[in-house]
Structure formats: C-alpha cells, structure tokens
Amino acid sequence: MTERPRPHGLYAITDPGLIPDGQLLERVSAAIDGGARTIQYRDKRADAALRRQLAAALAGLCRARAVTLIINDDVTLAAETGADGVHLGRDDAAFAAARRRLGARALIGVSCYDSLERARAACAAGADYVAFGAFYPSAIKPDAVRAPLSLLGEARHALARRIPIVAIGGIDAGNGAGLVEAGADALAVIGAVFGHAGTDAVRAAAARLAALYAPA
C-alpha cells in the first residue's frame, strides 16, 4: 500500500450499473485523463471473486497513474488488493477495526451524511477525510439523507480544516461550483462522470468537474 494524498478536487466513484465490467479500466483511465485525482471502487454485487478481480486491476491502474484508489465498504478487499484505503458508511466496519487491518498509512474516509457530530467523532478518531451529502437529488441513491449547503462551512469551522471535506450526492458541473465555494475540498461524483457512454465523453465530463478546482 503506497502513501497517497488525501482527496482534493474530483473524486470519481465507479458504479457497475453505469460501467460494463469489460470497460472499467478504460472508463476510469478516461476519468483520470480528465482530472480525477481520487477513484473509489464501489460495487455492491455479491460476486466476491469478480469484485476482487476488478478491484485488483483497478489498483494496478491507479498505481501506474499515481492516483489514489479507495474501496467502498470492504476493508478486506482494500487490504487484499493493496488499495490506498477504504470508505466507511454508517453500516460498514468499525473505524478502529479498519485502521488495525489496513495500518496507519491507509486513507480511511467516513460518511457523515448530514451530521456534524459524526464528523467531529470521525476526525477525533483519526479519519483522513469526511464526506457529507446528499446535497442534491441523486439517481444512484434516491432515498439518501439530504444535507444543507451551510453544513460545509460549519464543518470547516468545527474541524478547523484538519482533514478534507468531501461533498457527495447529485453533483454535476452545473451545481458543483456552489459546493466548492461553500468549502468542499473534493467533489465525489458518480453519474455526472460515469453516466456517459464512451471514453471521450467520460474524459470531457471529468474535465468539466476538475476545472472547478483550477486556479482562477
């Protein structure tokens, strides 16, 4: 497991419903070409062998491209594939157990939904970043808890900028600028990147989102 920077800028999340398995590497590579600096492998399917095969291939790609790879939910998969870390939700493995398994150098992110208290606790426990959302309606998670835009500024103040804050949920190039202005260090995006067919479209979509963090 190599040491990678904490999330900043475009944080692109895969989804097997949007990306055919045989095109995973080329679509992720296109997102990286467009400016994605963090990739999260998110796959809820029951086929553990397939998920391990795909995650291992993705880990190789991300290492070659010097991009951070985070595994959604699965601490064991992160450890077995040499990913840079794991992202934990409310029902996922406990943070302390994940840290013991993955080690001090691993990046561990925690979903905080609309809860500033959960973010404070995660930061105190040693999380490497926290994620809030959904800020906008999401086709991927239509029933997700909604978070107010003001939460980003409150979190920056409460956490004293000790760890990055990631925004998620229905984000695209049109609404992302407001989240960046409000204090999001990274934008976690699924559909607005990988909802496009073909590598050129994925690359262009990623570039529009990454440009929100480009110097003025």
Position 4 scores a pLDDT of: 67
Q: What is the pLDDT of residues 25-59, one digit of tens each?
A: 999 999 999 999 999 999 999 999 999 999 999 99
The ranges assigned to domains in the chain are 9-213
Q: Annotated active-site positions, please?
A: 42, 111, 141
Long-range contacts of 74-82 (CB under 8 A, 24+ apart): 75/101, 75/102, 76/101, 77/51, 77/52, 78/102, 78/106, 80/52, 80/56, 81/52, 81/55, 81/56, 82/1, 82/56
Q: What is the pLDDT of residues 145-160, one digit of tens each?
A: 899 999 999 999 999 8
Q: Which CATH class is domain 9-213?
A: alpha beta
pTM of the complete model = 0.96
Q: Mean pLDDT, the chain, as a whole number?
A: 95
pLDDT at position 96 over 60: yes
Q: Are strands 85-88 and 68-72 parallel, antiparallel or unpaired?
A: parallel
| Phi, psi (rounded to 5 degrees) for 31 | -65, -40
Position 203 scores a pLDDT of: 98
